[in-house]
Structure 1
Amino acid sequence: MPATPPSALPSSDVPQRCDLLVVGGGVNGAGIARDAAGRGLSVVLAEKDDLAAHTSSASTKLIHGGLRYLEHYEFGLVRKALAEREVLLRSAPHIMWPLRFVMPHDPSMRPASMIRLGIWLYDHLARREVLPASEAIRLAGHPAGEPLKPRFSRAFVYSDGWVDDARLVVLAARDAADRGATVLTRTRVTGAEPAAGGWRVRLRDDSAAAPIGREEADGPSAGKSAGGSVERTVHARALVNAAGPWAMQFLSEGLGRRSKRGLRLIRGSHIVVPRLFDHDMAYIFQNADKRIVFAIPYEQDFTLIGTTDVEHHEDPGRVRADQAEVAYLCELAGRCFKAEVSPSDVVWSYSGVRPLLDDEAGDPSAVTRDYLLELERVPAPLLTVWGGKITTFRKLAEEAVDLLAPELGTHAPGWTGGAKLPGGDLSGSIRETGQPERDFASFALAKAALLPWLPAPLLQRWARLYGSRLDRIVGDARSLEGLGSEVAPGLYEVELRYLVREEWARSAEDVAWRRTKLGLRLAPAELARIEDWLQANRPAR
């Protein structure tokens, strides 16, 4: 067995002191923990549920500048996001790749001249080296036109990127842990108060059931609560509030502070239906209500359709696509595709709450997707993250640690701009060309030649999910028997052990919907077998 990695440290090894404690295990919290740990700071990240359990696994899964934001004159945000696309694509070619988007022209929505100007700006606001330029096409006889209603005669095509959003968060957290951070899932920050020039932070580990172990070494800062949870305190020199939809709640309930800022919680829902087209391009459709909706190839056999923009006034932890949203997405798809799409075709739906800065825009679609970093130095350093989007998470994290660095006495510069995420360095198997899509294809072929006994679908899935780290899953195995039992179709014990040991997976939901998307294909009884295996192989906490 390999040495226990930092991520799997038992709770008794949680440090009593750290430079930085990050509240929230979404993409921004994981990104900040990663950047800070890479600059030599001691970091603890605390997430009350699983990594990416909420907003960060419920996106449209795009690395994009936001073409529609140009209509709202958010040129700075679009430029910043466009510049980040290729940085991210190079950092993790296994979980991100270029994607061509087809926008069928509907003269009743926006004039062709406006769209042409918009995609020209989109091409030129930031430098491109990986992504091809936009173009106009005639749909008759083109693969993109085949599945569409005949009323569409031409379209505009441009480039952006696709990302497995939940895996992006896990890999950022994995990188943070590899660089020395302590990552605590299912650990709630119940409060904090200024103490000795920093923060005295109270944590409650809700992962339950397992004995604490080594209580004598923990000192007075740890103990077992009446409900079986582990409670402890950590002294942090600085605190980051990256709680996303709960950022305001954490300030008021956790810190007893009032904020001058406002958040608007906007629910975005998506549906997944059987595949509607055979090519590998995506669609972006205009709608009469000025919304745009994407239809994207998803997990080989499906099409992902979304998103909605609806004000959400309930608990952000309890969110689901309602019947009206599902009907809206089905109706729009049915207006554009030859194939009819009805709610009965939906094999899965998901919904997330985006915490957007309240800029008093009346239309939820017009609310800014930009972010704001608010640093308070008195009585102790506190950085609150307001807003943000997946595409700019790396830049946000870099700016956040730049702000905190003087408070923590470090002069280490940002480093993530040219760094690979775990699994993204393919140079051990191939000679990289700098073209992420081509490099990943070469990597997959090289692995297939080295592991001819692995079924092709399994090898491709592992290559996509884990990149160069799939070697850690295969280990010394030389046959399917060496992978252990097949707990569910296509899911072997070696993968489950890896997900528990190195990616904080603790439940079947963690495995089937966030670490993988096997949930789309597994029956309830098969998911139950995964849960049983995980419970029988729980790591000590």
Structure 2
Amino acid sequence: MANESYDLIVIGGGINGAGIARDAVGRGLSVLLVEADDLASHTSSASTKLIHGGLRYLEQYEFKLVAKALSEREVLLKMAPHIIWPMRFVLPHQKHLRPAWMIRIGLFLYDHLGGKQTLANSHGIKFADHPAGVPLKAAFTKGFAYSDAWVQDARLVVLNCMDAAARGARIMTRTRAETATRSADGWQVTLKTSDGETSEVHARGLVNAAGPWAVRFLDDIAAQNHPYSLRLIKGSHIVVERLFDHDYAYIFQQPDGRIVFAIPYERDFTLVGTTDVEHSGAPGKVAIEPDEIAYLCEAINRYFERSISADDVVWSYSGVRPLLDDHEDNASEITRDYRIQLDTAGGAPLLNVFGGKLTTYRRLAEDAVDQLAPTLGRREKSWTHDGHPLPGGDDANPQQLVAALQTRYPFVPSSMATRLVFNYGTRALTILGKAERLTDLGEHFGADLHAAEVDYLCAHEWARTAEDILWRRSKLGLRLDQREQRRLADYLGCPSLAAAAGET
């Protein structure tokens, strides 16, 4: 790569960097995206996995953010129906926390702030004759139901990168920017791969989408003055065996004013989260603490007849949200909106991204490239708002695709066909190829994971380790035991990572 030149180098392979790279290359810019680890290996794979307006943000008077997010929810549902789909949420009512009239007003706003919506409106429910009432304690007699959407968060990042690459962008994972030197006509960036190889590349513009490392990048690598600071807020989730036998998710009000979700997860599990805890350590080294587990278990036990404890946790994950510091004392009150700063005063353009959330990533990317492209001589209009599908998302009805896949490949079990379609969409056909029986898919690693899928992920989705495949490209880590995970790591040629692949 020595002395290669680009219009734009994007630092950071999370959702914001991936979205900006896709938007920019689609407007005719040559783009290099650089990620120090795997794609979506930090904040963007540690979310609650929702595309949502943020119902609770209405209490903070964040009407603009909620309207923007609800509008984006519609765009994303059309853009990636294989990894984003509607989900119905149930809010049990506790009148001493929030009066019913306040919730009704909030839900009315939620139904209408985003303009025309395709998802069902909210309404009141009585738990005596509703399936969502079955696991609840008898004290809860009524509540409310409303709509939002589910997303395979890490896959959303990967698919944006795949689309960017298909349009001409270069994606480099496990490659760190060591230095970035600014001049009047561009940026000279020194890159170092995980293998120790170094190279110099040049770009006319630079995007800092390093997430929790954005300020560190400015201070230590680019050596740029700036007025911004980030609040690092750790959010942790737990996964337990399935707590209820229906497809509704729950949003539970807590005595401290926060909310906790309980969401159907990977068919046999329930996802519970999230916490909001100030984090002062290294952004990449986060793990759930015992008091966070206790908090999430207590949230469940406050509402469900069946109680859980730390012993019931089968997996947990934590991530750091890099929120722009607006000097709020309460971590839950810090704005989840984003801030974009374009700096052209010091020479070549530098665009910094602070904050943001999964739901509004496309709008953030559009805003970023709207500001940046003219400084690089490009005037093309934005294009991603029209719902151009992400890879695999060109079939608007995934359920019909499942049926078509089973007709074409009758040897594929129903659960496997469903998982493939709701991870890869039409790309599932590429994985299965000309197979006529399961054994044609190669080595079987456990659950329904075969070599054909592993090879596809390595060839097309930048996967290199068992962790990449089991916890980000899929969630099959919940189903493979450690022996099976080690066999996968051996197959990938990274046995030293095998033990880490099984850690929770």
Alignment deviations for residues 443-465 of structure 1 (CA, whole Å, 9 cap, x no partner): 21122111112122221111111
Q: Residues 20-31 of structure 1 correspond to what in structure 2 (within 5 A)?
A: 20-31=8-19
Q: Give the whole-Å Cα distance in 2 for the aligned partners of 1:86 and 1:196.
A: 41
Alignment partner of 1:423 is 2:411:
no
Alignment deviations for residues 320-345 of structure 1 (CA, whole Å, 9 cap, x no partner): 11000000000110111010110000
Alignment deviations for residues 375-413 of structure 1 (CA, whole Å, 9 cap, x no partner): 001311000001000000001001111111111111111
Q: Give the whole-Å Cα distance in 2 for the aligned partners of 1:195 and 1:486.
A: 53
Q: Give the whole-Å Cα distance in 2 for the aligned partners of 1:283 and 1:193.
A: 49
The match for 2:499 is none
Q: Give the whole-Å Cα distance in 2 for the aligned partners of 1:303 and 1:489.
A: 19
CA RMSD of aligned residues (A): 1.2
What is the SS of the residue equivalent to 1:17? Answer: strand
Would the aligned equivalents of 2:240 and 2:269 in 1 still touch at CA under 8 Å?
yes
By how many angstroms is 1:240 displaced? 0.2
Question: One-letter code of the match for 1:245?
Answer: P
Q: Give the whole-Å Cα distance in 2 for the aligned partners of 1:280 and 1:322.
A: 29
The match for 1:483 is 441
The match for 1:54 is 42
Alignment deviations for residues 169-225 of structure 1 (CA, whole Å, 9 cap, x no partner): 00001111111110000000111111351100110011x2xxxxxxxxxxxxxxxxx
Q: Give the whole-Å Cα distance in 1 for the aligned partners of 2:325 and 2:494.
A: 46
Would the aligned equivalents of 2:447 and 2:476 in 1 still touch at CA under 8 Å?
no
Question: One-letter code of the match for 2:377?
Answer: G
Alignment partner of 1:123 is 2:81:
no
Alignment partner of 1:35 is 2:3:
no
Would the aligned equivalents of 2:184 and 2:347 in 1 still touch at CA under 8 Å?
no
Q: Give the whole-Å Cα distance in 1 for the aligned partners of 2:337 and 2:87.
A: 23
Would the aligned equivalents of 1:488 and 1:530 in 2 still touch at CA under 8 Å?
no
What is the SS of the residue equivalent to 2:78? Answer: helix
Query: Which among 213, 228, 233 is matched to residue 266 of structure 1?
Result: 233
Q: Give the whole-Å Cα distance in 2 for the aligned partners of 1:195 and 1:108.
A: 60
* Residues 536, 48 of structure 1: alpha-carbon distance in 2 compared, 3 angstrom cutoff: closer
The match for 1:215 is none
The match for 1:71 is 59
Question: One-letter code of the match for 1:116?
Answer: R
By how many angstroms is 1:128 displaced? 3.5
The match for 1:368 is 335
What is the SS of the residue equivalent to 2:159? Answer: helix
Q: Residues 13-24 of structure 1 correspond to what in structure 2 (within 5 A)?
A: 16-24=4-12
Which range moves more in the overlay, 474-483 or 407-416?
Answer: 474-483
The match for 1:409 is 377
Query: Which among 526, 531, 534 is matched to residue 492 of structure 2?
Result: 534
What is the SS of the residue equivalent to 1:269? Answer: strand
Alignment partner of 1:335 is 2:302:
yes
Query: Which among 379, 388, 395 is matched to residue 347 of structure 2?
Result: 379
TM-score, normalised relative to structure 2:
0.96
TM-score, normalised relative to structure 1:
0.90
Question: One-letter code of the match for 1:413?
Answer: K
The match for 2:365 is 397
Q: Give the whole-Å Cα distance in 2 for the aligned partners of 1:494 and 1:441.
A: 23
Alignment deviations for residues 139-196 of structure 1 (CA, whole Å, 9 cap, x no partner): 1121011100111111011100000100000000111111111000000011111135
The match for 1:217 is none
Q: Which runs of 5+ in 1 are unaligned?
A: 1-11, 209-228, 427-435
The match for 2:398 is 440
Q: Give the whole-Å Cα distance in 2 for the aligned partners of 1:489 and 1:138.
A: 39
Query: Which among 261, 276, 287 is matched to residue 243 of structure 2?
Result: 276
Query: Which among 161, 176, 184 is matched to residue 149 of structure 2?
Result: 161
Q: Give the whole-Å Cα distance in 2 for the aligned partners of 1:308 and 1:481.
A: 44
Q: Which runs of 5+ in 2 are unaligned?
A: 496-504
Would the aligned equivalents of 1:316 and 1:353 in 2 still touch at CA under 8 Å?
yes
By how many angstroms is 1:487 displaced? 2.8
The match for 2:271 is 304
Would the aligned equivalents of 1:483 and 1:492 in 2 still touch at CA under 8 Å?
yes
Alignment partner of 1:183 is 2:151:
no
By how many angstroms is 1:528 displaced? 0.6
Question: One-letter code of the match for 2:314?
Answer: V
The match for 1:525 is 483
What is the SS of the residue equivalent to 1:321? Answer: coil
The match for 1:314 is 281
Alignment deviations for residues 19-53 of structure 1 (CA, whole Å, 9 cap, x no partner): 00000000000000011111111100000000000
- Percent identity over the alignment is 57
What is the SS of the residue equivalent to 1:247? Answer: helix
Q: Give the whole-Å Cα distance in 1 for the aligned partners of 2:339 and 2:82.
A: 30
What is the SS of the residue equivalent to 1:45? Answer: strand
The match for 1:95 is 83
